Chain A
Amino acid sequence: AQKVTQAQTEISVVEKEDVTLDCVYETRDTTYYLFWYKQPPSGELVFLIRRNSFDEQNEISGRYSWNFQKSTSSFNFTITASQVVDSAVYFCALSDATSSSNTGKLIFGQGTTLQVKP
């Protein structure tokens, strides 16, 4: 069965600190996709990144970076120099979309609530 674990329920940091959100996943599929979404207080989930299982290259986008390691089944997310606007709930998710008939189903972790204090 597929599973995503975000062990950190809540994290609180002071502005400008770096913070890493952990994500560990389980799947038997060889082809899969991993995602990070951000959920601000307004409720909608905002897409941040997608990685496929064949691409272990780390990615950086501004203050955000992601570390994907298949050997440890982890897909961690780091925010550098955090800001108050980064305060939100962050979800890691897994998709086994190996066929085009299964594009809408994501397995989400429980989420990590990040609070960035000024």
Chain B
Amino acid sequence: KAGVTQTPRYLIKTRGQQVTLSCSPISGHRSVSWYQQTPGQGLQFLFEYFSETQRNKGNFPGRFSGRQFSNSRSEMNVSTLELGDSALYLCASSPGTSVTGELFFGEGSRLTVL
């Protein structure tokens, strides 16, 4: 069973640009969550998508957005990049219908903003 796949794995952008990250969940999983990991703030929840609808959102500015497609693949977008957006962005998938909350994570997309 293929795991969670995130692309690209590494990318470098400059301030003011925008970036789109992609996540393909485990087959059959309908929930995709995104997390930002930085040395200072640790792992922080960005948002969760289930069946193409955002059903949970963390405390991040509107520059951070996402969407989910009918095949459950998800993208997140960060506009007007700031230096502080440099981070490892992790995607996690789950069936999304159970309260047990076990998440399966990808290896992440490491974004560097110069």
Contacts and interface: CB of A to CB of B under 8 A. Distances in A.
Interface in B13-72: 31-33, 42-45, 48, 50, 55-56, 58
Contact of B101 (A45, A106, A109): A106
Interface string A75-118: 00000000000000001000101111111111111110000000
Q: For the complex, would chain A's binding face be called helix, strand, loop or mixed by DSSP majority?
A: loop
Interface residues of A, number: 28
A70 interface: no
Contacts of A52: 100
B43 A103 contact: no
A13 B91 CA distance: 31
Contact of A108 (B43, B88, B106): B43
Given A91-B43, A111-B42, A33 B56 contact: no
Q: Is the interface of B mostly helix, strand, loop or mixed?
A: strand
A43 B107 contact: yes
Contacts of B99: 33, 97-100, 102-103
Contacts of A107: 45
B33 A45 contact: no
Contacts of B110: 43
Given A43-B88, A43-B107, A44-B108, A104 B32 contact: yes
Contacts of A103: 31, 48, 50, 94, 96-101
Interface of A: 33, 35, 37, 42-47, 50, 52, 91, 95, 97-111
Q: Which 9 A-B pairs have the closest CB atoms?
A: A104-B33, A104-B48, A108-B43, A45-B105, A95-B101, A97-B99, A43-B108, A43-B107, A44-B107
